[in-house]
Structure 1
Amino acid sequence: MLGSVVLGLFAGTGSASAAGYNGVCGSGYSVIDHHDIAGGTVFLTYSSSTGNNCVVTVRNTPGTAIYMDAFIRLSGSLVWNDDPGYWTTYAGPRYVHAPGRCIDWGGSIGSVTWIEYNSHCRS
């Protein structure tokens, strides 16, 4: 079962341009999913050579440091691999080795948090 959760308040005017993936997960990682949130985009990447997933949250427009996070874990785990803090451009990268396993992943910018549970299950 797939599930997504969005927490926080959305406010703003005008149109926002989605952030582009910035390559910080490293060579060999390809974007396999993403989710736009207020202020930026959460990217999920995968390396078929290592079996690692990587998550990074990227702001649409870099600026003054604001609260951001990128987080990932094996589904069912109690512990997130996360990168909370006040960042100007991006949070992460954070990795999990998950061949053949489901993952939970997400990110935050300001007061907006998005999470997807039990996703990208590989057999």
Structure 2
Amino acid sequence: MTESLGEYNIKHHSDVVVTISEADDEAAIVLNGAVVGNRYIADPALIVRLSPLLKAGRNELIIRSTDYGRGGKNYWTCTFSIAFPGNNIPSIQRRFHVERFGQNDQHATTDWQIILNSA
């Protein structure tokens, strides 16, 4: 499943900061097809500044949340925020939490997609 969070015009070389504060089992930050950060269930918060990685023009940012469905109580959680300091764009915040009882053997992934046009 992919949910679009919109398309934004940002100033080239300006800050874009992604924070993944909660992940069960895993959350990844994917920029233009390359993983630039991962957070696993027991890790501390992951904070990634995308500014040095953004190219001029169109950039596709994906926050990917994965639940591997291994035993336990089998919750699937991802909490993240994306801040755009200096761009006059409100930050994006999401908290995704699903109880997956009875689906212990099923792998699940969802993506949130943001297009960043850097000029």
- Give yes or no for TM over 0.5: no
Higher strand share: 2
Mark the structure with the bigger radius of gyration: 2
TM-score between the two structures when normalised by the length of structure 1:
0.38
Structure 2-normalised TM-score?
Answer: 0.39
Higher relative contact order (CA 8 A, sep 6+): 2
